A and B are shown apart, each in its own frame.
Chain A
Amino acid sequence: MDNRQELNRNLAQMLKGGVIMDVTTPEQAKIAEAAGACAVMALERIPADIRAAGGVSRMSDPAMIKGIQAAVSIPVMAKCRIGHIAEARILEAIEIDYIDESEVLSPADDVRHIDKTKFAVPFVCGARDLGEALRRIGEGATMIRTKGEPGTGDVVQAVRHMRKMQSEIRHIVSLREDELYEAAKELAAPLDLVKYVHENGKLPVVNFAAGGVATPADAALMMELGAEGVFVGSGIFKSGDPAKRAAAIVQAVTNWQDSKLLAKLSENLGPAMVGINADEIETIMEERGK
């Protein structure tokens, strides 16, 4: 494999067991870093507000992203629209550590994603199932996350996507080698990547949970289901006590198997984000980009 792709997969490996937090200002970025975020996602509006504002949602102002890069020593990620090659080039030019080609923003291309193999900077992409994950990896994504339904505070889609992906992985592992060709056709995924999953029982890149995680228990649930770490978007800075909640979610990801500790971490966190049920909303972001 290409050296750059390998290095970009390696960075995702360093983020494992960690929490990546959405932040909109350098001050929030510092709070996130001090609370134990392994990376921050710099964006002008968090998904809950993007949802509330409506309209076209685009890449954030590079000046705002640079302010956050200067404020913290941990990796800084930023979002570009699906298929928006130029936004991705701009983010690469300001030396972002990871680009999230994200359904949270309005798609620029309703059919194609970016050919990410043409970039030196790494990409993370959302996926609802194994086929989608392997298509994104085929295009050069070096990290995968569930799509969830961003900005809702409802974890149900993230659970659905993670369960589906894990169960499809187990299915691929169970197949005979001569059944992999048909499986690749059904998944609409590159054959070499289907073969990798068959041999290794996992994706060739790190797989995080994203979308609707709002509590330490939500984070622990996603780890239980096979996530290697979590993204928390609106859940932290839309809650009553962001620093405390952020630190509790970080600890929950490390010790997700310890229920006594989870009980302690869940105490007195103040109000969680109010949230909306994912089936009560009109804009379905997870449908963007397949």
Chain B
Amino acid sequence: MKVGVLAVQGAFAEMETYWRKKGADVFEIRQLDDLERNMDQLALPGGESTVQGKLLKDLGLFNPIKARIVDGLPVFATCAGLILLAEKIEDDGSRDETRPSQWFGVLPVTVRRNAYGRQLGSFRTVGTFDGKTDVPMTFIRAPAITKVSPEAKVLSTFNGEPTAIRWRNITAFTWHPELNT
């Protein structure tokens, strides 16, 4: 399987290792040319969503990648990746959230950024993911999924809120499976 990892900013090296360990053939997406390669799966890593969103636009990657996602390319997204995909970002009232064009906005969920607070709120726990028990889950300045389409399958939860979901071709996490491999 050929996996393209978005490598504009963030923990893309960890995401690459995660997929290599699964036996995948991994390449980095930094520029438009990189999208000419065959890709069975797109991986959107953790990092800062504002930075990644801006770089996607500046590098001309935004529209072609969005088209591929809408077209049904399987997507695996963690943390910042989930934020990029979310249809809605919950406005906390104190910040300028009027930048929807910077996000793909294709996944029918609402997310709240930095939902557990600043870095002091980052934590690790163990839970059930897609039927598998004792899965380590690392949340780094993590977002929360506050609303989710009934069409989506919830794969893991924390305190009753969904933390990983699958909807059509997209699997998305608020935590970082790539940090515990």
Which A residue sits closest to B114, measured CB to CB? A73
B64 CB-CB contact with A under 8 Å: no
Question: For the complex, what is the distance from the CA of A75 to the CA of B46, rounded to whole Å?
Answer: 14
Across-interface contacts of B13 in A (CB, < 8 A):
16
Contacts A10-B122, A11-B119, A36-B55; A17 near B138 (Cβ below 8 A): no
Cβ–Cβ contact A6 & B9, under 8 A: no
**Which of A103-111, A132-140, A152-160, A251-259 touches B?**
A251-259
* Contact in complex: A251, B59 (CB < 8 Å): yes
Interface string of B117-155 (1 = CB under 8 A from A): 111101110000000000000101100000000000000
Contact A14 B119 (CB under 8 A): no
Q: How far is the CA of A45 from the CA of B107 in the complex (A)?
A: 42
B92 to chain A, nearest CB (A): 9
Q: Which residues of B contact A97 (CB under 8 A)?
A: 118-119, 141
CB of B47 within 8 A of CB of A17, answer yes
Tell me the minimal C-beta distance from B155 to chain A in angstroms: 21
**B54 contacts A by Cβ under 8 Å:** yes
Measured in the bound complex, the distance between the Cα atoms of B11 and A11 in whole Å is: 9
User: Does A13 contact B11, Cβ atoms closer than 8 Å?
Assistant: yes
Q: Decide if A36 touches B54 in the complex (CB within 8 Å).
A: yes
If A7-B123, A36-B55, A121-B120 touch, whether A74 touches B31 (CB-CB below 8 Å) is no
The number of residues on chain A lying at the interface, defined by a beta carbon within 8 Å of a beta carbon of chain B, is: 44
In the complex, whether B39 has a CB less than 8 A from a CB of chain A is no
Q: B10 at the A/B interface (Cβ < 8 Å)? A: yes
Contact of B55 among A8, A16, A254 (CB under 8 A): A254
Residue of A whose beta carbon sits closest to that of B124: A3
Contact check, A8 vs B119: say whether CB atoms are below 8 A apart.
Answer: yes
- Is A286 among interface residues, defined by CB-CB distance under 8 A? no
User: In this assembly, does A225 line the interface, its C-beta being within 8 Å of a C-beta of chain B?
Assistant: no
Q: Report if A59 contacts B (CB, 8 A).
A: no
Is the CB–CB distance between B120 and A120 below 8 Å?
yes
In the docked arrangement, what's the CA distance between A168 and B130, Å?
Answer: 45
* A125 at interface by CB-CB < 8 Å: no
Total chain B interface residues with beta-carbon distance under 8 A: 38
Contact A17 B179 (CB under 8 A): no
Q: Is the CB of A14 within 8 A of B140?
A: yes
Tell yes or no: A281 within 8 A of B by CB.
Answer: no
**B1-24 CB contacts (< 8 Å) to partner A:** 7-14
Tell me the chain A residues, 234-258 only, with Cβ under 8 Å from chain B.
247, 250-251, 253-255, 258
Is A250 in contact with B124, judged by CB distance below 8 angstroms?
no
Contacting residues, chain A, for B113 (C-beta < 8 A): 73
Which of A8, A36, A74 lies at the interface centre, i.e. has the most chain B CB atoms within 10 A of its CB?
Answer: A36
What mask results when residues 93 to 114 of chain B are scored 1 for a CB within 8 Å of chain A, else 0?
0111000000000000000011
| Any A CB within 8 A of the CB of B176 | yes
CB pair B51–A251 under 8 Å, yes or no, is: no
Q: Which residue of B lies closest to A13 (CB)?
A: B11
Cβ-defined partner of A122 (8 Å) among B79, B119, B124: B119
* Given A73-B95, A250-B55, CB of A36 within 8 Å of CB of B50: yes
Can you identify 13 A-B contacts, CB atoms within 8 angstroms?
A: A7-B138, A11-B119, A14-B79, A15-B47, A16-B12, A17-B9, A33-B50, A34-B54, A36-B55, A75-B118, A121-B120, A122-B119, A255-B31
- Chain A residues proximal to chain B, CB less than 8 Å: 3, 6-8, 10-11, 13-18, 30, 33-39, 69-76, 92, 95-98, 120-122, 247, 250-251, 253-255, 258, 261
Other than the given A95-B117, A254-B7, A254-B8, 14 more pairs (CB < 8 A) read: A7-B138, A10-B138, A10-B179, A11-B119, A11-B140, A11-B141, A17-B47, A18-B48, A37-B51, A38-B48, A71-B95, A95-B119, A97-B118, A255-B31
Interface residues, chain B, CB within 8 Å of chain A? 7-14, 30-31, 46-48, 50-51, 54-55, 58-59, 79-80, 94-96, 113-114, 117-120, 122-124, 138, 140-141, 176, 179
